[in-house]
Amino acid sequence: AQSVTQLGSHVSVSEGALVLLRCNYSSSVPPYLFWYVQYPNQGLQLLLKYTSAATLVKGINGFEAEFKKSETSFHLTKPSAHMSDAAEYFCAVSESASKIIFGSGTRLSIRP
Amino acid sequence: DAGVIQSPRHEVTEMGQEVTLRCKPISGHNSLFWYRQTMMRGLELLIYFNNNVPIDDSGMPEDRFSAKMPNASFSTLKIQPSEPRDSAVYFCASSFTLNTGELFFGEGSRLTVL
């Protein structure tokens, strides 16, 4: 069965610092992988997705993620955090891009 | 362009009452998903439709829950009778096709069952 594990329910970084949100997946077939962001009182919004075209995926707002099959990881990074990046981030996996399973989420806080 | 529209945004009801949540997907999208979000269980996929047909309802927790999609522009999620443990935010999402992985979410319906 497919699943994702997000390491760290809460991450806090200083403005301008590197953002690293960790995600490991489990899938019996080559997976589709996604990162979504949720701002307070809103629905989720797609940040980026991996569909086997390239291992380094660039998304919106300066975020990117790298697919590492050997580590079954799909960590999300951003070189320099901005106050507006404060939100909850969800890693998600799908074996068919139809039934998408979300991780438990990581709340990102930005310190001034 | 209008996004996914959900109603009501907030619902407070008493245990045993019927609750109906509504969703209007983005025009032209032919896949629709219902998710439930709680602190304890995170985001759970309840059911999804493709071309108005339910494809997978294995996430529907109990027979008290039912979902319909009578046409391409409307879906309902019904809980009858409601229980306090049903309190959650219910999200509807739509996508252009079933296999893109890009879901467009509504703002959610926050349900509180007393």
pLDDT in tens, A85-99: 999 999 999 877 577
Which among B7, B47, B51, B54 is positioned nearest to B28, based on CA atoms?
Answer: B51
Q: How far apart are CA B64 and CA A12, in angstroms?
A: 40
Q: Partners of B10 in the beta sheet? A: B110
Q: Is A70 helix (H, G, I), strand (E, B) or coil?
A: helix
Average pLDDT of adjacent 10-residue blocks, chain A of 112 residues: 89 97 88 92 91 87 94 96 96 80 94 95
- Chain B residues with CB under 8 Å of A102 CB are 35, 42-43, 45
pLDDT at residue A110, as a whole number? 97
Which among B58, B55, B32, B54 is positioned nearest to B46, based on CA atoms?
Answer: B58
**Phi and psi (nearest 5°) for A41?**
60, 30
| Residue B102 reports pLDDT greater than 90 | no
Which among B91, B92, B97, B93 is positioned nearest to B28, based on CA atoms?
Answer: B97
B62 pLDDT band (50/70/90 cuts)? Answer: confident
Exposure string (b/e) for A60-70, b if CB count within 10 Å is 16 or more?
A: eeebbbebeee
Q: Record the tokens describing residue B67, joined without a space.
A: 């979902």
- Chain B residues with CB under 8 Å of A100 CB are 33, 45, 101, 103
**More confidently predicted of A52 and B35:** B35
Extract the runs of DSSP E, i.e. beta strands, from chain A.
3-7, 10-14, 19-26, 32-38, 44-50, 56-58, 64-68, 73-78, 87-94, 101-102, 106-111
Q: How many CB pairs under 8 A join A and B?
A: 57
Question: B39 at the A interface (CB within 8 A)?
Answer: no
Contact, B113 vs B15, CB < 8 A?
yes
pLDDT at residue A95, as a whole number? 76
Among chain A residues, CA nearest to B10 = A41
